[in-house]
Structure 1
């Protein structure tokens, strides 16, 4: 990797470094310390004396929210990271990154807080939708493309969460005990690959501890490994509120402590230097890294940004649709039920078919300007004459932020009740972080917020209204106060409860479809409560009338009987997959499994679309004709689904992680004991662990079907280059993902039976043969030797295996290295 001053540095790198050094020399201690602590929720301080503008950061990874956490400022919403990894296409990841850079520049953002390259260690990880894969090599390849794309657009990245942030339970305090070999071969490997191949401008260190040291103070992993061994020259930012001490973090290599204005840096850091507790040269190192980032993104006066010419504009909606259909994984297709015929009548079933879940919950949330649900997409493609819809079963009976039928605004008042300002609320969520407030409103003057507006029901019956958040609330519906009370944080709760906590039902009100009523939710602010992040966060939530579940399933069965094909969309909910908690099981919520079985019994041509970010159990899979894994497909997911179901495009995805029953999963523990979580499985996670346990999963790593067939004709290995010839032996053009695995001939059980060493996409017309060349990296033949603390090349015989998945290996050749 080219450094800023090493032999690989360009003249532009050296010129930027000269500006950085001059700017650093012009700063006094107080200015330097101030720069390292957050100015507010999303930015660092400006320093006009050196021509430095505020450095603005924003959450990703599937969109750029910007500094406003509101649906009033929409963003493109791409499919989930698991979906992007399912494409097995680095170039597509690169294009996704470039689009997000375009979005970032539009919103005035300099650094994207993404990508997440932690691993799917256990299927119970609640935030796995935001990471790519169980495999470190695939994760590194997709992450490299993503970072290259974002930075090609002149926007920085922060590869996260460094390191071993692989579960959510007690994530702020857990001490993950990870052996050196597993740490190197699995959890550090994607970070190392991305640092080497993409030269990221930032890294985000995690909340958790690793082997006794919190990651924001981990001198060995940050200073010796990341910066020393790998040559990383970017900036290291804490996860939000992860920095807990002043001397520990600065000496542990943390450059920026976020958010602000309350911070362990700033004045506290300057005082520590003056007291002799911290060397000023250590502060200088951190400031230099921040200034280097500022120079790269073009906000340090006198420094030429890395990207002067912005890439050509990308159509975000079109790319979101392309990624979604390329990510869909067809895992079952009996009797070629898919693609559907052009004249087929379709019964579309499932609550998620109408109200699609297009992204995961938590800090990855963005607010797209539009969402195309499966019902929208199939209605546009088929027309209403050949499509019927039935709810069937709702995966959730939980209230959700008020949106459909609501017209809302937030009115801010002072202590005397005077109106200070107003803001639109397209979804009933007040999420004002830092200075993100309506015009004329400040935290100091604001005493209360009232969500006020109207609601026009879609259905008659009992409607549930409620709140999410902490504090006092007064809820009024149709002129009547239906709740006046408080919600307090429970003992031991995640401090993000106010952001991501459960909604609470407060009242039921009988309403009539089409008749508009006035609604209001008043929330006086508790100025004695010190929130974990500066801001105001609460939601006005709602749930429509709840019909008899048996009646809904019966209606779906009737619809299925009357159609050529039944398409059932099943889904997880925000209480199953989100930030801040892990999963308890892998079951679909509600009565969705029962729904699928009932529909499949009524129509043998039943297709199930699974709308989840990570694996769920599919106990009915052998009873249905086809199963299509749709992930969280982004804002254009419904249009992409129509493309795939009707055969305009083939489903292009392959599994980036193993799908199986929880009872069979080799690694399941995500909760610590007395504060510690031991990674006792060592290097055996994912498919490595399934093979070691000699248990066959439901769907293997790498599995995925298309709409054509492929014949593997030859494999030739010369040195470390594998050349694979495949022929499209099916009826239509398609794309194959050729996967190459490496299996050591001599294995005492200390190494996995095999591991992914490379892959490539191959496109061909019917009857056409194509060759792909796959380089086997040197690291594929190495292990981490704990006795010498170095990488050790493992000589001997290896079988190079090429195929369609780890369980469907078609060709092999033995080589000696």
Structure 2
């Protein structure tokens, strides 16, 4: 069958009822079922949103990692988002993948959210607009986007107006502007009913009101009913094998809780996506390959740089001058490249560039010397062994597998056993064995780069023992369960090995049994094992800071790279607070005292508290920058790229200032249920309403040049609600740059309370030094309206509106009033 020959109606007619039922649930983790007799192939899908992992958690084909969504959102760059979507489509095609599970557009409410880094913004307009560009880039090359997680992910809900204006809005914008071919429902309930079986959300709003025609799939293990989910419109249960469908559908049909027409309606949507997959030319059950080209590396680097936001440059230290001769790089996030947040967004990168590597390379180009000191560790988890391990002369380790339960003697003592049934090399000391693997032995050679005593830490899914040079170091035979591997693994256990020498190798061996795979902590799946192994040279905490301070004093410039990691900010758990880990804050404070030319780089997917910020005159927010994190950061530090990012989310001074406090996470006042008490006043809307001064406001970001705004004009609002906002913007500095001009709208005389101002448009403008441009942003009724629950519709009330052109939500440059002469009401897109 060729690409243009797949006929949905003909295929549906060929399918027998048991075959139709089979199609309504997944085949394993990453595929839909095939029905060869009816010409229906199996479609492949892969996790996103910042990369394409492929079908293997363990030892998959390496992939490009793009900046996490908060970084991409902070670029405010629609063209860049479209380019990233196109590059992800190329990776999908190389991996024979028809459906990418992204983008994520859940509105960011709290800095504590474990998956905050996966969504673009706290603002629905920015969130939906960047998502639409990403989707358009992806689907232009024949790969289906799966917008997720619809809607109000992981919490309960109370207020319909907030649901419409804040949480549904980014989905509405993306569906209107890009028509994603698939949509994933969330795990949670909305007003007491799970989204996957909620006809109001799936039928009334999504299908009827918005006219959405794509396929609806569940989140993994996110279906909680049979008849209800099918009648509500959920097409595909993921993953397989089915739990809520299959024979349960047969029983429901026999009892006439379901009718054959209900099944046909769901199958049709799956077949419609199969038709698109055929048309894409992506092979079915094809090979998985990687993509690594100079053009792709260039895009990754540009995206990493554009995801950096310059927050402070009070002394004008940046960009670094060619006269800089000595640089000390300090911090736990400097030597290791934290390319993404944790959970399903993690993948095996084709390559990675750490901040230390990127800075060193750029420094060498101007003849500057670079020294390094860690200064402080995160303390929660020790750094992976990846840069220091080898096996059989090659980078990495050997993992061996058995099908039979091992003896206690083999697990607890360094004794030989029978030959493994299978073995494979791996590049990492973090192995999540989600792919049907049994008892294992992990073997590698660890070569430290410094003399000293080393502390090792291990968490596993299973039970076992860590040996170093044949001696047992860490016993995990009866270790308590902890948070590793989505709650399926043990607590992080530690042991010390004395007297290791730089350059002298030691044998590392982890023997473990996964015979009884574990399922705990509410995780939605099980695993056949996992290993997470780290090590670090033991140093006295004060001594480590003192060493960093000493090097900083001797250098022209100190660059302190701190923040969070994929093991501190991840799917599967929320952060307990906004604090930076361990002694990070003390390290930053001490280095700031030691060197007046200290640059602080914070790397996190969401806001953190910065108690030292008043003493930091030079500060950047780097987010998780993907493969080219280090080079992108260095390009900004050394002036190869003039930073143009603006924060896509408000950074509060303290957690208590966030609108969700104290109802979110461990501070919640109603266990098991969280009320969205802030209503429509999410993010900057709440800070404005309560007149709370944030640490850094939404939309804020500096440049190495300066910009001025002038000559605002607004066309009259048409009867349909359309109008244009025009203004002039000039680069008044000496460096070429890009400015994100933001358009906010206010309705001071609304019948119902509304935010002081709301983002309704933006433009990213490139200007050469001294250049001016005239910019026009076209708006429509969406910029004027709000949702009226009593009317059950959107309404833009007649009257006077104020339009502001701003450099951030708190930095208004120009304002002008415009009048809507007649009230407009509407339903739908």
So what's the TM-score if we normalise by structure 2? 0.90
Aligned-pair CA distance for 1:370: 1.5
Distance of aligned partners of 1:749 and 1:222 in 2 relative to their CA distance in 1, 3 Å threshold:
closer
SS at structure 2 position matched to 1:325: helix
Q: State the alpha-carbon separation in 2 of the partners of residues 395 and 361 from structure 1.
A: 16
Q: State the alpha-carbon separation in 2 of the partners of residues 352 and 495 from structure 1.
A: 22
Of residues 334, 348, 361, the one that matches 2:314 is 334
Aligned-pair CA distance for 1:302: 14
Distance of aligned partners of 1:364 and 1:185 in 2 relative to their CA distance in 1, 3 Å threshold:
same
Residues 747 and 801, structure 2, Cα contact 8 Å, conserved in 1: yes
Q: State the alpha-carbon separation in 2 of the partners of residues 245 and 469 from structure 1.
A: 33
Distance of aligned partners of 1:533 and 1:571 in 2 relative to their CA distance in 1, 3 Å threshold:
same
Partner of 1:7: none
Q: Is residue 455 from structure 1 mapped to residue 446 from structure 2 by the alignment?
A: yes
Aligned-pair CA distance for 1:550: 1.2
Q: Is residue 284 from structure 1 mapped to residue 264 from structure 2 by the alignment?
A: yes
Q: State the alpha-carbon separation in 1 of the partners of residues 498 and 28 from structure 2.
A: 41
Q: Deviations over 1:394-427 (max 9, x none)?
A: 2235235432222311111132845221122211
Partner of 2:288: none
Residues 519 and 527, structure 2, Cα contact 8 Å, conserved in 1: no
Q: State the alpha-carbon separation in 2 of the partners of residues 621 and 785 from structure 1.
A: 42
Residues 428 and 540, structure 1, Cα contact 8 Å, conserved in 2: yes
Of residues 362, 373, 376, the one that matches 1:381 is 362
Of residues 650, 663, 678, the one that matches 2:656 is 663
Aligned-pair CA distance for 1:123: 2.1
Q: State the alpha-carbon separation in 1 of the partners of residues 184 and 608 from structure 2.
A: 29
Aligned-pair CA distance for 1:779: 1.1
Q: Deviations over 1:705-736 (max 9, x none)?
A: 11111111211100310011111111111111
Q: Is residue 711 from structure 1 mapped to residue 704 from structure 2 by the alignment?
A: no
Aligned-pair CA distance for 1:377: 0.9
Aligned-pair CA distance for 1:374: 1.3
Partner of 1:782: 785
Residues 485 and 530, structure 2, Cα contact 8 Å, conserved in 1: no
Aligned-pair CA distance for 1:240: 0.7
Q: Is residue 648 from structure 1 mapped to residue 640 from structure 2 by the alignment?
A: yes
Q: Deviations over 1:206-225 (max 9, x none)?
A: 11111010111111101111
Residues 55 and 299, structure 1, Cα contact 8 Å, conserved in 2: no
Partner of 2:287: none
Partner of 2:411: none
Q: State the alpha-carbon separation in 1 of the partners of residues 281 and 351 from structure 2.
A: 38
SS at structure 2 position matched to 1:589: coil
Partner of 1:34: 22
Distance of aligned partners of 1:689 and 1:291 in 2 relative to their CA distance in 1, 3 Å threshold:
same
SS at structure 2 position matched to 1:228: helix
Q: Is residue 816 from structure 1 mapped to residue 813 from structure 2 by the alignment?
A: no
Residues 330 and 374, structure 2, Cα contact 8 Å, conserved in 1: yes
SS at structure 2 position matched to 1:481: strand
Count residues in correspondence.
778
Q: State the alpha-carbon separation in 1 of the partners of residues 481 and 586 from structure 2.
A: 35
Aligned-pair CA distance for 1:676: 1.7
Residues 461 and 514, structure 2, Cα contact 8 Å, conserved in 1: no
Q: Is residue 142 from structure 1 mapped to residue 130 from structure 2 by the alignment?
A: yes
Aligned-pair CA distance for 1:461: 2.7
Q: State the alpha-carbon separation in 2 of the partners of residues 663 and 566 from structure 1.
A: 32
Of residues 356, 371, 376, the one that matches 2:337 is 356
Of residues 249, 263, 268, the one that matches 2:243 is 263
Q: Is residue 772 from structure 1 mapped to residue 761 from structure 2 by the alignment?
A: no
Q: Deviations over 1:514-566 (max 9, x none)?
A: 22222221222234756853642311412212211211211222222222221
Aligned-pair CA distance for 1:303: 13
Aligned-pair CA distance for 1:337: 1.4
Partner of 1:9: none
Partner of 2:494: 505
Unaligned runs of 5+ in 2: 285-290, 391-396, 406-417, 717-722, 821-829
Q: State the alpha-carbon separation in 2 of the partners of residues 287 and 513 from structure 1.
A: 61
Q: State the alpha-carbon separation in 1 of the partners of residues 264 and 751 from structure 2.
A: 49
Aligned-pair CA distance for 1:603: 1.6
Q: Deviations over 1:180-224 (max 9, x none)?
A: 100000000000111111010000001111101011111110111
Aligned-pair CA distance for 1:509: 5.3
Aligned-pair CA distance for 1:479: 1.2
Q: State the alpha-carbon separation in 2 of the partners of residues 434 and 277 from structure 1.
A: 36
Q: Deviations over 1:115-164 (max 9, x none)?
A: 01001112222211111111000001000001111111211111001000
Partner of 1:475: 466
Aligned-pair CA distance for 1:264: 1.6
Q: Is residue 524 from structure 1 mapped to residue 513 from structure 2 by the alignment?
A: yes
Partner of 1:84: 72
SS at structure 2 position matched to 1:763: strand
Q: State the alpha-carbon separation in 1 of the partners of residues 107 and 324 from structure 2.
A: 41
Of residues 213, 217, 220, the one that matches 1:233 is 213
SS at structure 2 position matched to 1:536: coil
Partner of 1:208: 188
Partner of 1:736: 739
Distance of aligned partners of 1:36 and 1:736 in 2 relative to their CA distance in 1, 3 Å threshold:
same
SS at structure 1 position matched to 2:623: coil
Q: Is residue 689 from structure 1 mapped to residue 689 from structure 2 by the alignment?
A: no
So what's the TM-score if we normalise by structure 1? 0.91
Partner of 1:428: 429
Aligned-pair CA distance for 1:385: 4.6
Residues 803 and 809, structure 1, Cα contact 8 Å, conserved in 2: yes
Distance of aligned partners of 1:776 and 1:286 in 2 relative to their CA distance in 1, 3 Å threshold:
same
Correspondence 1:16-165 to 2 at 5 A: 19-71=7-59, 73-165=61-153
Distance of aligned partners of 1:806 and 1:414 in 2 relative to their CA distance in 1, 3 Å threshold:
closer
Q: State the alpha-carbon separation in 2 of the partners of residues 483 and 603 from structure 1.
A: 41
Correspondence 1:452-601 to 2 at 5 A: 452-486=443-477, 496-498=486-488, 503-505=492-494, 508=497, 510-527=499-516, 532-533=524-525, 535-601=527-593
SS at structure 2 position matched to 1:802: strand
Distance of aligned partners of 1:146 and 1:572 in 2 relative to their CA distance in 1, 3 Å threshold:
same
Deviates more, 1:706-715 or 1:452-461: 452-461
Q: State the alpha-carbon separation in 2 of the partners of residues 192 and 296 from structure 1.
A: 22
Residues 434 and 534, structure 1, Cα contact 8 Å, conserved in 2: no
SS at structure 1 position matched to 2:276: helix
User: What's the C-alpha RMSD, in Å, of the aligned pairs?
Assistant: 2.5
Residues 470 and 486, structure 1, Cα contact 8 Å, conserved in 2: no
Q: State the alpha-carbon separation in 2 of the partners of residues 472 and 78 from structure 1.
A: 35
Residues 294 and 300, structure 1, Cα contact 8 Å, conserved in 2: no
Distance of aligned partners of 1:299 and 1:428 in 2 relative to their CA distance in 1, 3 Å threshold:
farther
Of residues 583, 605, 618, the one that matches 1:626 is 618
SS at structure 2 position matched to 1:344: coil
SS at structure 2 position matched to 1:677: coil
Partner of 2:171: 191
Q: State the alpha-carbon separation in 2 of the partners of residues 809 and 118 from structure 1.
A: 27
Aligned-pair CA distance for 1:300: 10
Of residues 305, 315, 336, the one that matches 1:325 is 305
Of residues 266, 272, 278, the one that matches 2:252 is 272
Q: State the alpha-carbon separation in 2 of the partners of residues 505 and 619 from structure 1.
A: 30
Q: Deviations over 1:560-598 (max 9, x none)?
A: 222222111111133431111112221211112111221
Q: State the alpha-carbon separation in 2 of the partners of residues 327 and 302 from structure 1.
A: 31
Q: Deviations over 1:32-77 (max 9, x none)?
A: 1111111111111111112222111111111100001135521101
Residues 610 and 631, structure 1, Cα contact 8 Å, conserved in 2: yes
